[in-house]
């Protein structure tokens, strides 16, 4: 299939800035572009056309304003959010002011980004859609993607099933209970020996375990990936930061690994997937972001990143067209509120108290004959490894006998979302899990 001339221009810009990126892009990624058709013509019309005669974009207007049904807008505060700010199409890139505000917030939350140049985030329909966009842009059939053995199951569906990538695992935890650096390094080096490109997913806080690495572990991960890139293998390090900022102890790193990985090496591309979903407790708004950071070798970084952004927006345009306008607008307005930080901190404190209650409850020997506890210090979840029963059997028994809902993530691993259980109910929850395990163990 021939490559569109616009895609050829974008490829040339990317190749000029860092030729290694052309080896990292998938076949689809190299062909992607943002079309200059209706959208471009409509944008020109918004700037130059008399509003009375702007017959371009496919929405309906009335009296020079957005047409709407009162039965829809009755549920929105007209003084705070207008129909044109909620019912119209958002750009495929996302609202410009939201993209800029989210980028500013990334620098605020990740001081290690100071002095580094990264792309402007492109808005996705949640982080799951961000993973899918990444897969379209960077994964060809049989490309290798490395995860720990404790991983979110939907990654398999998005990358292995839909894109035919090969997912490889390593044991997440070492003998000492922390992150398994030896296993991680061995797996990445093994795959690097046999592939010109390796994708590594770094999900902290981790789903399902709720574990976030410490500074020593973070520095070691960056050193390992940088050294492998120095050896000639292209590394794409994807930080899945869905639960960013939800840390409950001092030891876990405060920043995203994206900050440490950006601009480390020309053969190392850092991709940040994050969003308002969990950070702002707005799961149904489906607002995520995808951001890039690498070392630009020639010329200015801005056109290089703009080319990547246009390919990303072209992928959005070719799948869902654009993310929800009202969702983006609500996120932007909330981030601009003087109460935002205080309100969010208060909710994080509630989750911290729940996590601490779980830790307190499981610290003794009360349940030791039924399970071991995987390390956790952040996020929404924690995991137990069952000693006497299988997880799926226990999950079903808990539902049928005790009306308790949990998730079986492996043969002996059970995930518990303390995020959705009030603190006063946590002890009763684990008592029920323990009784159910004893029931099945006989």
Looking at 69-73, 78-82, 119-123, 247-251, which range is the least confident one? 78-82
pTM of the model: 0.95
Q: Are residues 211 and 318 part of one domain?
A: yes
In the chain, % of residues over pLDDT 70: 97
Name residues whose C-beta falls within 8 Å of residue 347's C-beta, 6 or more positions apart in sequence.
Answer: 281
Q: What angle do CA 264, 267, 269 make, to 5 degrees?
A: 70
Q: Are residues 322 and 179 part of one domain?
A: yes
Q: Region 408-431: what's the mean pLDDT?
A: 97
Q: Are residues 230 and 136 part of one domain?
A: yes
Q: What angle do CA 381, 160, 35 make, to 5 degrees?
A: 105
Q: How confident is the model at residue 175 (pLDDT cuts 50, 70, 90)?
A: confident
Is the pLDDT score of 40 beyond 70?
Answer: no
Q: Are residues 210 and 313 part of one domain?
A: yes
Give rounded-to-5 percent helix, strand, coil for the chain: 45, 15, 40
pLDDT tens, position by position, 346-374: 999 999 999 999 999 999 899 999 999 99
Q: How confident is the model at residue 438 (pLDDT cuts 50, 70, 90)?
A: very high
Q: Are residues 346 and 299 part of one domain?
A: no
pLDDT tens, position by position, 22-35: 999 999 999 999 98
The token pair at 348 is 């994080």
Q: Are residues 375 and 231 part of one domain?
A: no
Taking Cα atoms as reference points, which of 312, 311, 270 lies closest to residue 292?
A: 270
Q: Are residues 370 and 296 part of one domain?
A: no
Q: Residue 357: inside a domain, yes or no?
A: yes
Kind of pairing, strands 407-408 and 413-417? antiparallel
Q: Region 255-274: what's the mean pLDDT?
A: 98
- Report yes or no: 301 and 307 within 8 Å, Cβ to Cβ: no
Is the pLDDT score of 13 beyond 80?
Answer: yes
Residue linked to tokens 């309906």:
60
Number of domains forming the structure of the chain: 2
Rg (CA), the chain: 24
The token pair at 67 is 């047409």
Whole-number average pLDDT of the chain: 95
Q: Are residues 331 and 277 part of one domain?
A: yes
Q: Residue 155: inside a domain, yes or no?
A: yes
Between residues 36 and 365, which one has the greater pLDDT?
Answer: 365
Q: Residue 86: inside a domain, yes or no?
A: no
Q: Are residues 411 and 280 part of one domain?
A: no
- DSSP per-residue letters across 6-23: HHHHHHHHHHHH-THHHH
User: Rounded distance, CA 329 to CA 86, Å?
Assistant: 7
Name residues whose C-beta falls within 8 Å of residue 329's C-beta, 6 or more positions apart in sequence.
Answer: 81, 85, 86, 95, 98
Q: How confident is the model at residue 43 (pLDDT cuts 50, 70, 90)?
A: low
Give the three-state DSSP class for 91.
Answer: coil
User: Rounded distance, CA 437 to CA 174, Å?
Assistant: 26
CATH number of 424's domain: 3.90.1150.10
Q: Residue 87: inside a domain, yes or no?
A: no
Q: Which residues pair with 173 in a beta bridge?
A: 179
CATH number of 223's domain: 3.40.640.10
- DSSP per-residue letters across 422-439: -GGGHHHHHHHHHHHHHH
Q: Residue 351: inside a domain, yes or no?
A: yes
Name residues whose C-beta falls within 8 Å of residue 161's C-beta, 6 or more positions apart in sequence.
Answer: none
End of a domain among 288, 307, 335? 335
Domain extent, residue 400, equals: 340-441
- Report yes or no: 200 and 146 within 8 Å, Cβ to Cβ: yes
Q: Region 183-196: what's the mean pLDDT?
A: 97
User: Rounded distance, CA 172 to CA 413, Å?
Assistant: 13
Q: How many CA atoms lie within 13 A of 78 on its CB side?
A: 8
Q: Are residues 316 and 350 part of one domain?
A: no
Between residues 315 and 78, which one has the greater pLDDT?
Answer: 315
- Report yes or no: 13 and 33 within 8 Å, Cβ to Cβ: no
Name residues whose C-beta falls within 8 Å of residue 4's C-beta, 6 or more positions apart in sequence.
Answer: 31, 33
Q: Residue 25: inside a domain, yes or no?
A: yes
Q: Region 130-154: what's the mean pLDDT?
A: 97
Q: Are residues 360 and 321 part of one domain?
A: no
The token pair at 170 is 């390593």
pLDDT of 60 reads: 84
Q: Residue 72: inside a domain, yes or no?
A: no
Omega before 226 within 30 of 0, i.e. cis = no
Q: Which residues pair with 289 in a beta bridge?
A: 123, 274
User: Rounded distance, CA 438 to CA 408, Å?
Assistant: 17
- DSSP per-residue letters across 306-374: HHHHHHHHHHHHTTTSS--HHHHHHHHHHHTSTTHHHHHHHHHHHHHHHHHHHHHHHSSSTTTTTEEE-
End of a domain among 317, 335, 353? 335
Between residues 53 and 26, which one has the greater pLDDT?
Answer: 26
pLDDT of 36 reads: 80
Q: Are residues 386 and 301 part of one domain?
A: no
User: Rounded distance, CA 306 to CA 204, Å?
Assistant: 28
Residues in the chain: 442
Q: Residue 395: inside a domain, yes or no?
A: yes
The token pair at 62 is 């009335």
End of a domain among 290, 309, 335? 335
Is the pLDDT score of 250 beyond 80?
Answer: yes
Which strand (E) or helix (H) includes residue 233? Answer: none
């Amino acid at each position: 299939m021939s490559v569109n001339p616009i895609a050829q221009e974008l490829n040339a810009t990317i190749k000029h800035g860092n030729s290694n990126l052309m080896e990292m892009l998938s076949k689809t990624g190299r062909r992607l572009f943002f079309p200059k058709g209706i959208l471009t013509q409509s944008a020109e019309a918004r700037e130059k056309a008399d509003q009375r005669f702007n017959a371009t974009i496919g929405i309906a207007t009335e009296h020079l304003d957005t047409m709407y049904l009162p039965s829809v807008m009755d549920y929105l505060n007209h003084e705070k959010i207008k129909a044109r700010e909620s019912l119209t199409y958002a750009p495929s890139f996302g609202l410009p002011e939201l993209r800029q505000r989210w980028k500013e917030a990334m620098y605020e939350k990740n001081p290690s980004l100071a002095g580094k140049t990264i792309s402007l985030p492109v808005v996705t329909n949640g982080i799951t859609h961000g993973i899918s966009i990444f897969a379209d842009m960077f994964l060809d059939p049989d490309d290798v993607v490395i995860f720990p053995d404790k991983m979110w199951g939907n990654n398999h569906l998005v990358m292995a099933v839909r894109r035919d990538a090969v997912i490889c695992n390593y044991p997440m935890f070492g003998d000492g209970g922390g992150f398994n650096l030896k296993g991680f390094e061995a797996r990445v080096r093994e795959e690097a020996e046999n592939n010109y490109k390796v994708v590594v997913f770094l999900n902290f806080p981790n789903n399902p375990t709720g574990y976030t690495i410490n500074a020593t572990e973070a520095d070691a991960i960056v050193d390992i990936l940088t050294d492998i890139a120095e050896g000639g293998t292209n590394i794409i390090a994807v930080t899945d930061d869905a639960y960013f900022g939800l840390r409950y102890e001092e030891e876990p790193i405060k920043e995203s690994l994206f900050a440490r990985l950006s601009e480390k090496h020309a053969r190392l591309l850092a991709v940040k997937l994050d969003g308002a979903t969990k950070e702002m407790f707005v799961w149904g708004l489906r607002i995520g972001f995808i951001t890039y950071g690498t070392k630009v070798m020639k010329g200015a970084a801005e056109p290089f990143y703009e080319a990547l952004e246009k390919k990303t927006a072209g992928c959005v345009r070719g799948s869902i067209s654009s993310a929800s306008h009202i969702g983006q607008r609500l996120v932007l307005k909330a981030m601009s509120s003087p109460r935002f930080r205080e309100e969010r901190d208060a909710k994080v404190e509630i989750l911290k108290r729940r996590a601490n209650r779980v830790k307190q409850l499981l610290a003794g020997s009360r349940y030791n004959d039924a399970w071991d506890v995987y390390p956790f210090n952040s996020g929404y979840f924690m995991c137990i490894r069952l000693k006497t029963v299988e997880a799926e059997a226990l999950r079903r028994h808990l539902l049928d006998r005790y009306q308790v809902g949990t998730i079986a993530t492996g043969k002996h691993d059970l995930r518990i979302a303390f995020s959705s259980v009030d603190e006063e109910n946590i002890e009763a929850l684990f008592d029920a899990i323990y009784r159910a395990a004893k029931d099945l163990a006989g």
